[in-house]
A = this chain, B = another copy of it.
C-alpha cells in the first residue's frame, strides 16, 4: 500500500470509489440550483455549494444504492435531493442561529440578508421535491417528507429545550435525530428504495444512517469538553458558554446532588457564569463519570451502525461504510 492509500479517510475512499456518480451529482446540483427568473438564487447557492463541504449525505445515498446493486440513473437524483435539503436547512439554521461563518466563509445571511437565506432555502426545498418526483417513486417522497418534518420538529424542540435542565436523554435523542441523524438515515434508506432492496436491507440502511448520525453528534458533544481546538475547530467549553444541554451535561445533571444542581441551574439555566465555572463543570462531569458514559454511548452507536450493515451484501462499499463508522468515533476511542 502506498502512503496515500494508508492515510486516505473512509469518506475519501468512498468518494474515489463512487467518483463517477459524485461527478454526476455535482453536475445535477449545479444545473438545478439556478433559477432563470431570479438571479440572486444562483448567487447564493453558488456561494454555499461552491464552499464545498464533504458532500457526505449524497455520498451516503450513492453508497447505499451501490451496496444494493443499483445501476440506474436515479440514485444521482436522490443524492442531489439530500444535498439540497441539507443546504436548505443550513441556510435556515444560519438565520436561526444568527451565524456569521460557515465552512470558514461568511454565511449567506451575512453576505446578502436573512430574507434571501429564508427564501432561497424554501426554493431549494421545493427543488428537492421536484428531483424526487422525477424518480417516479412515491416511497422516496414519503421517506424524505417524513425526514424533513423530523428535522424541523427537532430544531423547534432544540429552541424550547435550550437552557432547560429538564432536557433528558430522550429529548436529546429527538433533537440529535432532527439535527443530524434524520437526514443521514433517509439518505441511506432511499438508496435502498431506488434499488428495490428487500425490506430488511432498507431497514438496515436506515439503522446505519441513524446510528452513524447519532454517534457523530455525540462525539461532537464530547470533544467540546475534552478535545483540542485544532481537531474540532472549536474551543473547549464553547457549548458550556453557550449553555447547551449536551449529553455529558445531561448525564451529570441527572446524577447531581442539590448543590451541584444549583451550580447547573446558575450556569446553564440562568447563564450567570463566572471565572472557574468551566473548571467546576469539568470536575462534575468527571466525578459522575459523565464523559466516560457519553464516550461509551458514542462507541455503542458506532457499533450499532456497523452491525446493521451485516445483513447487506459484502461489496467493497460495505467495508468503507464500516470504516466510516469507526472513523467517526476514532477521536474518542
Q: Which size bracket describes the interface of A in this complex?
A: 35 or more
Interface of A is mostly: helix
Chain B residues with Cβ below 8 Å from A154 are 37-38
Task: Please tell me if A277 contacts chain B, counting CB pairs below 8 Å.
Answer: no
Q: A39-50: contact bitstring with B at CB < 8 Å (1 yes, 0 no)?
A: 111000000000
Chain B residues with Cβ below 8 Å from A159 are 40, 115-116, 119
Chain B residues with Cβ below 8 Å from A157 are 37-38
Known: A92-B119, A118-B96, A148-B125. A41 touches B130 (CB 8 A): no
Asked if B127 contacts A149 (CB within 8 A), the reply is: yes
A112's nearest neighbour on chain B, judged by CB, is: B159
Task: Please tell me if A304 contacts chain B, counting CB pairs below 8 Å.
Answer: no
Task: Please tell me if A152 contacts chain B, counting CB pairs below 8 Å.
Answer: yes
Listed residue (A35, A37, A119, A129) with the most chain B CB atoms within 10 angstroms of its CB? A119
In the complex, A35→B155 CA distance in Å?
A: 12
Per a CB cutoff under 8 Å, which of B116, B129, B132, B152 touches A122?
B152
Asked if B96 contacts A156 (CB within 8 A), the reply is: no
Asked if B38 contacts A116 (CB within 8 A), the reply is: no
In the complex, A95→B41 CA distance in Å?
A: 18
Known: A123-B156, A141-B141. A115 touches B96 (CB 8 A): yes
Task: Please tell me if A231 contacts chain B, counting CB pairs below 8 Å.
Answer: no
Per a CB cutoff under 8 Å, which of B39, B114, B119, B156 touches A120?
B156
* Residues 121 to 179 of chain A near chain B (Cβ within 8 Å): 121-123, 125-127, 129-130, 132-133, 136, 138, 141-142, 145-146, 148-149, 151-157, 159-160, 174
In the complex, A187→B121 CA distance in Å?
A: 23
Chain B residues with Cβ below 8 Å from A121 are 122
In the complex, A146→B155 CA distance in Å?
A: 26
Chain B residues with Cβ below 8 Å from A142 are 130, 133
